[in-house]
Each structure stands twice: as C-alpha cells, then as structure tokens.
Chain A
Amino acid sequence: MSNHLLEVKNLRTHFASGGGIVQAVRGVDIHVDAGEFLGIVGESGCGKSVTMMSIMRLLAENAAVKADSLVFDGRDILSQSEKTMRSIRGNEIGMIFQDPMTSLNPLFTVGNQMMEHLRLHKNMTKEQAKARAIEMLTTVGINEPEKRLKQYPHEMSGGMRQRVMIAIAMCCNPKILIADEPTTALDVTIQAQIMELMEDLKNNFSTAVILITHDLGVIARSCSRVIVMYGGLIMEEGSVEQIFYEPAHPYTEGLLRSVPRHGIEEEDSESQDKGGEAQTVERQREKLIPIPGSPPDLMNPPAGCPFAARCEKAMKICKMAPAQLTEVGEGHRSACWLLHSQAPGKDRER
C-alpha cells in the first residue's frame, strides 16, 4: 500500500500537561496521493492541526507521537534523524499557517525569509535564491517582486503576506503543501483569491495539498477528498460529493447544517452549473442549526463515540464503544454505530 505519497496509520499524539495526559489524536489513518487536494475539517481542538504537526514532527517537547506507520515518500518519518527531518520540512513538505500577520518574522525582510531555506535546501547561491524568490513571488501574484523582497512584513497587507507565506512554502517545490487554516484570518474576498492561488499551484506544480479548515465552504470549492475529524478521531471521510450530499455521520450532518458557507455562495455566482449545490445552500441558509454542547475533554476522552454526547441520534452502544470506520461507498467511510448491521434505520426520529 506504499504507493501513497503520505500514509499515516493509527496516529496517536498525546501531550503531557499539568493535569494529566491530553489525548489530542487518538488513532487516525490518513493517506495522501501525489497531486491530491485533501481537506480536513473539524471544530477547533478536534486534532486536525496536531495531526499535521505530528507529521512534520514539529510538536513541542511535551508531546509524544506514536503510529503504526507514518510513511512519507517511502520513508518512515518517525525514525528519521532530526537532520533528515529538516531536509524534509520546507523542502519536501511545505507548510503555511493560519495567521499571516504573525507567521512572518517582523524583524527580517521578506526576501531574507524567502531565501534562507532556499539556500539551505537547494544549496543556491544568494543570486540564485534571489532569482527563485522573485520568480515565486511573481507566481503567487505579487507585483514588483524585487521591491517586495526588500520590504518587511509589516509593510504588506494580510493577503499579500499569506501569498508570501505560500511562496515561501512552495519555493522549494514541495511534494506536499500543508495549509493550516490559511484563509481563516483573512477577509472574505482575499480568502477566495488565496484559495484560487492554491488551486492553481496544485495544478501547476502537481503538489499534493492538505487543507485544514473548519470552513466547509472552502472545502467544497477546492478539495477532492475530505476528512471530518472530531475528538481526536476521524468521523467520516469521502469525496466532496459524498460528504456534502450523502453525509453518513450525524456529526457531518450537524456541521453541514450549522455553517453558513460564504465560499460556496461566491462560487455560486461564478459557476452556475452546480445548480444542485446552490440549492443546498439555499436550504441551509434558511435553517442554520448549531450543534448543541461542546467538544469532549481529551484529557479524559469518552469510552465511546466522542460525538455521542451531542448526537441527537445517539444510542446506548455509542457511549460504550467507539465505532470503527466503515465503508459506506467507494472511498467513503464513516465511524458511526448507525452503520452497524443491527442498527435501526437511519431515519429513526427522536
């Protein structure tokens, strides 16, 4: 099965904290293929960012990572030396973060921050690195790249800084780009531009993208495959269509009902051909239903399905044991006891 670019099996990441052990990720399987656009969605604290940081091995010292396998490009990440990891980070796996305002070091010029890892990973001379940086800035749509190189982050707008972040992440031609909530901190119009940019890059560079977000709208427009996480576990995964039109997990349903999706609205005006989806949006705008309750305490995770406490279809079994991911369609899996053969019909009313 090693033909995946990245394959994670049974990833568990725990943190030591003052009060005990926080089980942030409790057994997650993820695979990414070259050129794929994977979305990971979930509420804050569901473990999606921690999963990515685990893959990058960028967690703080109080974290411990365990996995049955964590293979990137044929190499076992967990057994690599720190030195090899450094040659992977920023070089083979690029990463961009939520807040472009704070993700760039305020004391160094943009050029400096773009060139330092180019020179490190690609052994470029200063001139080569500069040329590459200019090229990348142009690619991400920044005007007057030469001038911008000499500027400091605070001289740029948020959107532009995120473009710079993308340029930094992409300039070594990584095989995977991990984007951790790249648009959350941006204005709606900028969000769209950034997403567009990421799609273009994915297409042009055949880079796989893992997009982490809690914004279903963003997922809907860009991703081919979606993973829904909750309470440190994967609740459901499948193609965009499967997730949006045939959600098999009550949590996914809840998410779809609770989120106003700007992204789709906008795309709506651009591409009229997805009429069905537009209708969905219409329907959902009429009735926005938040999911009651709050996420589980991962220091003391529930024995059963983490969502049981908030699930309106919860059964007694849900509290006793977690459900395993079960195939519900081609590449569509969901972890819900309702999918058990003994479970009553999905449409049972409460």
Chain B
Amino acid sequence: MAKFILKRVAISVVSMLLLITVTFFLMHAIPGGPFSPGEQKDLKPEVLEAIRARYGLDLPVTQQYANYMKNLAHGDLGVSMKKTNYTVNELLAGSFPVSAQIGMLAVVMALIIGIPLGIIAALKRGSAADMVSMVLATIGISIPTFVIAMLLMYLFCMKLAWFPTFGWGEAKHFILPVVCLCLAPIANITRLIRSSMLEVVRQDYIRTARAKGLSELMVIGKHAIRNAILPVVTYVGPLVASLMTGSFAIERMFMVPGIGRYFVNSVSDRDYTVIMGVTIFYGAFIMVCTLLVDIAYAWIDPRVRFDS
C-alpha cells in the first residue's frame, strides 16, 4: 500500500512539474500580456517598463520560469498582476472555500440521489421507474449546464423571484448553484450505477448469495451494491475535484464568489500568476482526489489492495 501511494505521489510530482512547465510557456506564448502597451496607451513606455520590471516580466521567459519555480518551491504563488495587492495564495484561500462548499454539497446530493435512482432503475429494469429515471438521467447530461443555469435563473429569480439574483452567504444563495451543479453528476451516477448494477446482478456470486438463502435486501444491499459502487468511486474522484474547484458558468450566472471564475477570467486578463496559481491548485487538487479515490478503491476492493 505504502509503495503504491509513493509511486502515485511520484507520478503526481512529475505530472505537476510538467503541468507547470507547459502552462507557463503556453501562457507566455499566447498573444497579449498583463500589461500590454496597446491596452495602456496613456502610459509612458518608461512607466510601463517599470511596471513590467516590478513583476519580473522584463526578464527572458526562461529566467522568469526559473524565478517562478524558485518561489514556488517556497510555496509562494506570487502576487496577482491584475488584482493589485492580492497574493495568489490569498485569492485561492478566499475563493476556494466558497466553491468547495457548493461543490461538496453538489457531490453529496449527486450521490444521495443518483445511487438510489440507479439501483432502482437496474432492479426494475424495463419498468416505468427505469424508463423515467433513465430519461431523467439523459436529460441531465443532455442539456448544457449553462442553459440549465439560465433557465433556473429565469424561472426562479426573474419570474418567480423566489431566490435573490446575487449575494452570498446564506442558504438561499446556495440552492440554485447546487441544483445546477448536481444535475449532470446525478445523471452520470444514475447511469453508471444502473449499468454496473445490471452487470453485477448477473454475476455468479449473486446467484451464490441467493442460493445461500439470503434475503433480497442482503443480496442487493450487501453483495450487489458494494460491487456496483466501484465504478462510481472512480467517477467520484474527478467529480469532486471538478465540482469543488468551481464551475465558471455557474459562478458567473449566480454571482458566486468562487474560484471557478478565476479559472477563465485570469486567462482572458492574462493575469499570469493567477493562471499559474489556479492551474497548479487545480492540478494538485485533481491529483489528490484521484489518489484518495484510489485509496478508497483499494479499501473497498481487496483485490486492488494486494495487487499493488
């Protein structure tokens, strides 16, 4: 187990290095920059140069890269080039908890709703319940999130005015974003569980369990679900990572002060340090989530535990 984790951590470190490097140079390769002369016509070239020098942008890119890596080694992600006075660490610390909060709620909702729905669909295969949950699940993955967000916004914020259109901190601000975020995962989990459940109930060990005279509750609740849940565990890792790090569309629509907006805005602002910070954070978070999922997987599935 320890060896397995070590190996995974090693891969993650290499991945991170590569991620940082590729992002860094790709970011510098795209046209424009945080202090482009065209955008700041009214600034004297000398002043612009001074600003660029302050952020080390006057150095050759390779030198900037070296400096960045040096700071990174000390855990310093630098200061935002656009949001003056804010360090990237501060920005992440301020916005991540918000995204994490709604993300985690959405994950929990997705699990609580998706798993039973999928199980019911599989057990009552071909029944009306199956059809309904599958159609619902397909709807969930067929409508783009931003369209759903817009529709909910239109209906509940504009027409019915049940929810505020902006603001943050209270339960009423959470509900719509969480609903939007969890729809697609519910759909995916339902479908995943259904298909894995269908496969599992055909397995010999389920027949064995029945032949032992176990009740249906035991057969399904103990023997089938645990096996059927394995694919979901694999799915939940990346899901947790992507939901907790925020969705740009949702956060923009519902004015959520989360990290997801930095993800896109930093790129269009060419806020180099924030681009890097968000990427590193996101990449690391994904890797941690994947690692946790693998550990959880091994915990549930003894075969993996010993194979490593």
Contact = CB atoms under 8 A, between A and B. Distances in A.
Are chains A and B touching directly in their complex (CB below 8 angstroms)? yes
Interface of A: 56, 58, 85-91, 94-95, 97-99, 102-109, 116-117, 120-121, 152, 154-155, 165, 168-169
B31 interface: no
Given A97-B207, A103-B208, A104-B208, A152 B303 contact: yes
Contacts of A90: 211-214
A94 B213 CA distance: 9
Contacts of B226: 105, 107-108
B302 A154 contact: yes
Interface centre among B213, B222, B223, B302 (most CB of A within 10 A): B213
B215 A86 contact: yes
B170 interface: no
The 5 closest A-B pairs by CB, nearest first: A90-B213, A90-B212, A89-B213, A102-B204, A117-B212
Nearest to A155: B306
Contacts of A95: 208, 211
Given A88-B213, A89-B212, A90-B213, A105 B303 contact: no
A99 B212 contact: no
A152 B211 contact: no
B218 interface: yes
Interface in B209-238: 209-215, 218, 222-223, 226-227
Given A107-B226, A107-B227, A107-B300, A102 B210 contact: no
Interface centre among A98, A102, A103 (most CB of B within 10 A): A103
Nearest to A58: B210
Contacts of B211: 56, 58, 89-90, 94-95, 97, 169
B214 A106 contact: no
Given A99-B204, A102-B204, A103-B207, A116 B212 contact: yes
Interface of B: 203-205, 207-215, 218, 222-223, 226-227, 300-303, 306
Contacts, number: 80
Contacts of B207: 58, 97, 103
A86 B214 contact: yes
Given A86-B213, A102-B203, A117-B213, A107 B208 contact: no
A89 B211 CA distance: 6
Contacts of A108: 222-223, 226
A115 B205 CA distance: 15
Nearest to B206: A105
A272 B212 CA distance: 40
Contacts of A85: 213
Contacts of B222: 108, 116
Given A89-B211, A103-B208, 12 more contacts: A90-B213, A97-B211, A103-B204, A103-B205, A103-B207, A105-B227, A106-B205, A107-B302, A109-B302, A116-B212, A152-B302, A154-B306
A241 B300 CA distance: 51
Interface centre among B211, B301, B303 (most CB of A within 10 A): B211
Contact of A97 (B204, B218, B303): B204
A168 B218 CA distance: 16
Contacts of A89: 210-213
Contacts of B306: 152, 154-155
A95 B303 CA distance: 25
Contacts of A116: 212, 214, 218, 222
Contact of B212 (A98, A109, A154, A168): A168
A121 B160 CA distance: 58
B301 to A, nearest CB: 6
7 contacts: A89-B211, A90-B212, A98-B204, A105-B226, A109-B302, A152-B302, A168-B208
Given A58-B207, A90-B213, A168-B212, A106 B223 contact: no
Interface centre among A88, A91, A105, A116 (most CB of B within 10 A): A105
A108 B203 CA distance: 15
A65 B248 CA distance: 58
Contacts of B301: 106-107
A52 to B, nearest CB: 10
A122 B77 CA distance: 64
Contacts of A103: 204-205, 207-208
Contacts of B302: 106-107, 109, 152, 154
B296 to A, nearest CB: 13
Nearest to A121: B213
Nearest to B227: A107
B128 to A, nearest CB: 15
A102 B227 CA distance: 13
Contact of A105 (B205, B215, B300): B205
Contacts of A169: 211
A349 B209 CA distance: 52
A207 to B, nearest CB: 15
Nearest to B230: A107
A90 B215 CA distance: 11
Contacts of A105: 205, 208-209, 223, 226-227
